[in-house]
């Protein structure tokens, strides 16, 4: 049975940051599951439609080996959903990989998992990250224990290489 990784979904997700991890995980033999607040069609920043595989009310964090939080402006919606925030917090507290790219750090802030950690994000939320207690670095990927973070779509190869490396070690 393939190990399951959630890829969070909401309107205005950055399509590259959603699609690349979703299919890269499948290529590596994982079951990637897009998880959204409700069963409906979501539109990315550029209008690409996505239908989720599951809704947050039907998933159990203990059945997943990690979560990817793509950027765009979707994290602004995701962080307002208590079940999404609890899901991310639960996975982090269990030592599972929590990978956030671009604006994805907003979800980590709301989940209370970033304080004191060495992370990166898009520069647009650098102040949010540092105000939440992050030691912010400007680099393609930052790994701090089970948190993997990157800045933008240009960093996706480095981002996913580190996510997959973490998953291989915890197999």
Q: Which of 78, 102, 113, 125 is catalytic?
A: 102
Q: How far apart are CA 144 and CA 132, in angstroms?
A: 16
Annotated catalytic residue 92: no
Annotated catalytic residue 89: no
Q: How far apart are CA 121 and CA 158, in angstroms?
A: 13
Three-state SS letters, 58-79: HCCHHHCCEEEECCECHHHHHC
Q: Which of 24, 79, 103, 151 is catalytic?
A: 103
Q: Where are the alpha helices (DSSP H) in 32-171?
A: 74-78, 82-93, 105-111, 126-131, 156-169
Instruction: Return the active site residues.
Output: 102-103
């Amino acid at each position: 049975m393939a190990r399951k990784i959630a890829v969070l979904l909401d309107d205005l997700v950055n399509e590259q940051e959603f699609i690349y991890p979703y299919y890269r995980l499948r290529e590596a033999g994982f079951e990637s599951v897009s998880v959204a607040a409700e069963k409906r069609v979501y539109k990315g920043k550029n209008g690409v439609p996505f239908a989720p595989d599951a809704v947050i009310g039907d998933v159990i964090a203990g059945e997943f080996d990690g979560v990817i939080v793509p950027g765009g402006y979707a994290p602004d919606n995701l962080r307002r959903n208590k079940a999404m925030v609890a899901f991310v917090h639960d996975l982090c507290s269990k030592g599972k990989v929590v990978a956030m790219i671009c604006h994805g750090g907003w979800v980590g802030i709301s989940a209370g998992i970033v304080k004191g950690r060495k992370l990166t994000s898009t520069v647009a939320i650098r102040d949010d990250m540092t105000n939440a207690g992050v030691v912010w670095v400007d680099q393609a990927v930052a790994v701090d224990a089970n948190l993997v973070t990157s800045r933008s779509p240009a960093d996706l190869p480095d981002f996913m290489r580190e996510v997959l490396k973490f998953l291989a070690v915890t197999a």
